[in-house]
């Protein structure tokens, strides 16, 4: 398959490396002035991996889109709409768009597939999402994992799962696009909460965090028309090891740094996602105490120890 991966950061470069490794014809495309692209063009390397010579690195968006049967986008979720303005200038009919990114648009509360659908006719340009656990640092060592591809288009998601599966990544066919997207986005918020618990030495509470946060995310998924069981699948609960415990998790590291009063310089998608999820929780009248606590800490300047403590002082209630 001819594939162009748009975005060459940590995850975008890993996707390009992986798809080339399993035999696809891959172009890796980034913004001209992006440090990640400049490094890859100069050395074919970054902090995580080395590209083989078979991967072409370019900043020519038109060339990348023209090349592709399948366009994979892996960028910061809050920049997707502006990037789609650029992508939509070129012919997209007959191509598939796959989103390898996790978030919810803050201004609108839209899932990322909904953002893309504002620019394309899905009957001619199908949209899919690729979510689930995994870090480049593990994949390049040959450590396998499982992921999910989901889409409203059954034929497309089946085709992509078959084309992208290997001994390194086992793909499952998603059956709930709403749940897959919301679950994947929300796990980054919970990753920040886990990091805060690590930062104050309350790591043992991460078990309770995992149980209760999955439950509140499932309520939102259900309220928005999805299957609440999706929260217990690979898109959310299945991604907790990589997000709540891994030293590679940007969101967990962000939360830990915040609790310690330190700066974390890399992208943590969960920050803006917490704002978007609180917006959705109010619109759909869903109680999301953990997500709201993280939002209050990050955007309302509430004391993080006070907010976390309040979660344990809530009125007595049944677990289920």
Over the stretch 251-261, which tens digit does the pLDDT of each residue have? 999 999 999 99
The superfamily (CATH) of domain 2-173 is: NAD(P)-binding Rossmann-like Domain (3.40.50.720)
Q: Can you tell me which residue has the tokens 């009125």?
A: 315
What is the distance of C-alpha 10 from the center of its chain?
Answer: 12
Catalytic residue set: 187
| Interval 157-165 mean pLDDT | 98
pLDDT for position 167: 97
pLDDT for position 253: 97
pLDDT for position 309: 80
pLDDT for position 315: 67
Pick the CATH number of 183-310 from 3.40.50.2300, 3.30.420.40, 1.10.3720.10, 1.10.1040.10: 1.10.1040.10
pLDDT for position 310: 82
**74: phi then psi, degrees, rounded to nearest 5:** -140, 90
Judged against a pLDDT cut of 70, whether residue 187 lies above it is answered with yes
Judged against a pLDDT cut of 80, whether residue 319 lies above it is answered with no
In eight-state DSSP terms, residue 195 is H
pTM beyond 0.85, yes or no = yes
C-alpha 146/C-alpha 169 separation (Å) is: 5
Give the pLDDT band (50/70/90) at residue 49.
Answer: very high
Closest CA to 9 of 69, 79, 65: 79
* Residue ranges per structural domain of the chain: 2-173, 183-310
| Interval 129-150 mean pLDDT | 96
Contact by Cβ (8 Å): 69, 3: yes
Per-residue pLDDT reduced to its tens digit, 77-120: 999 999 999 999 999 999 999 999 999 999 999 999 999 999 99
Tally helices (H) and strands (E) across the chain: 14, 8
Q: What number of other Cβ atoms are within 10 A of residue 318's Cβ?
A: 4
Question: Mean pLDDT in the chain?
Answer: 96
Closest CA to 165 of 39, 62, 23, 61: 23
pLDDT for position 308: 82
Q: Can you tell me which residue has the tokens 């994947």?
A: 184
């Amino acid at each position: 398959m001819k594939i162009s991966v748009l975005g060459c950061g940590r995850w975008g470069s890993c996707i390009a490396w992986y798809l080339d490794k399993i035999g696809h014809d891959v172009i890796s495309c980034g913004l001209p002035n992006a440090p990640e692209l400049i490094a890859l063009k100069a050395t074919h390397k970054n902090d995580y991996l080395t590209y083989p010579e078979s991967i072409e690195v370019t900043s020519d968006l038109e060339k990348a889109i023209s090349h592709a049967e399948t366009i994979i986008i892996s960028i910061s979720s809050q920049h997707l709409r502006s990037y789609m303005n650029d992508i939509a200038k070129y012919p997209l009919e007959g191509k598939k768009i796959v989103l390898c990114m996790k978030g919810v648009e803050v201004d609108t509360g839209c899932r990322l597939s909904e953002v893309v659908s504002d620019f394309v006719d899905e009957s001619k340009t199908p949209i899919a999402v690729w979510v689930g656990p995994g870090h480049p640092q593990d994949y390049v060592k040959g450590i396998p994992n499982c992921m999910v591809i989901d889409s409203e288009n059954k034929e497309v998601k089946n085709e992509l799962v078959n084309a992208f599966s290997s001994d390194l990544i086992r793909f499952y066919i998603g059956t709930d696009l709403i749940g897959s997207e919301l679950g994947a986005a929300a796990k980054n918020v919970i990753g920040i909460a886990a990091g805060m618990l690590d930062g104050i030495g309350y790591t043992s509470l991460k078990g309770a965090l995992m149980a209760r946060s999955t439950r509140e995310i499932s309520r939102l998924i259900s309220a928005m028309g999805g299957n609440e069981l999706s929260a217990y699948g690979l898109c959310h609960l299945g991604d907790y090891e990589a997000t709540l415990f891994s030293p590679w998790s940007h969101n967990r590291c962000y939360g830990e740094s915040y609790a310690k009063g330190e700066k974390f310089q890399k992208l943590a998608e969960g920050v803006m996602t917490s704002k978007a999820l609180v917006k959705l929780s109010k619109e759909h009248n869903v109680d999301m105490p953990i997500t709201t606590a993280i939002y209050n800490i990050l955007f309302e300047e509430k004391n993080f120890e006070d907010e976390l403590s309040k979660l344990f002082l809530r009125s007595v209630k049944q677990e289920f």
